Chain A
Amino acid sequence: MTTSLPSSNCWANNKLLIKDNAIKLEIKEKPNTPSLEFNPTNPKIKFLPLPPLDYNDKLTYLLKNLEDLKNRKKQEKFQKWLREFSNNIQIKNIIDQLICDVKSLIKNKEFSITDENELKNNIATFIYSISACQVKK
């Protein structure tokens, strides 16, 4: 007859000892901030007269700046799109080539262009308008 001796390892004794060193105890104290409540009776408070505000001018300035910002963002987005690649060719180069082909076609058919720069801008804008919705930000 054989007798089994009690084992000394943790599995046999159903004990699993894990050291948990990740827990940290931190105590934070709230900074003592002075009360910001407005008290007009406070003798330290001085009332200064405000210069008259020209709301029209300021509003116009603000709206103009907002519009400029909006246009600049649009322009940046457009420029970013131009630098993207399609079939390993930069979009800018594709559009330049398209414009070049359009110009030579017009010339071959004995027509002439009134404003080349404007035509170039319009073609690029047109292609952008039918392309730009999926550009990654």
Chain B
Amino acid sequence: MPSKKINEVKQEKEEEFDPIEFLKNLSYENYVNCVEAKELLDDEHFWNYEKKLSTHLTNLYIKYNTQFGNNILFNKDPNKIFGVYFADLIYKFIEKKYDVTIFHDNLELATPLFELYDK
């Protein structure tokens, strides 16, 4: 019977679907074109920057402020509190390298991608 055959084929297809494999086959543009996925990637990039670099940049600013601060240099920040702004300024010039493996490790995050590409 044809309806039975169709159902069998559908079931086979569903069984065959490997979400991780599907995600691995997506191109960089596929990820970026999905608004929700891009937001997650942006957040991940930001937290990565915060974790690895931001504190070091703030400390570097504090070091220079302490060493060279006088009445013509760093004189509007005697308490050395603008280090955070300094790190934020540099963040704008950091190239965004998105780590798409976050979707492979946590498939729940990839739901918008499955929805977008009808899986």
Interface residues of A (CB under 8 A from B): 81, 84, 86-87, 89, 91, 94, 98, 101-102, 105-106, 109-115, 118-119, 122-123, 126-127, 129-131, 133-135
A124 to B23, CA, bound (A): 43
Decide if B60 touches A135 in the complex (CB within 8 Å): no
Complex interface: chain A residues within 8 A of B89 (CB): 122-123, 126
> Using Cβ atoms and an 8 Å threshold, which residues of chain B touch A111?
49, 52-53, 94-95, 97
Smallest Cβ-Cβ distance to A111: which chain B residue = B94
Interface centre among A84, A86, A91, A115 (most CB of B within 10 A): A86
* New A-B contacts (16) at CB < 8 Å, excluding given A109-B56, A119-B90, A130-B76: A86-B68, A91-B73, A98-B60, A102-B57, A102-B90, A111-B95, A111-B97, A114-B93, A122-B92, A126-B86, A126-B89, A130-B82, A131-B74, A133-B76, A134-B72, A134-B75
Taking CB atoms, residues of chain B closer than 8 Å to A130 are 74-77, 82
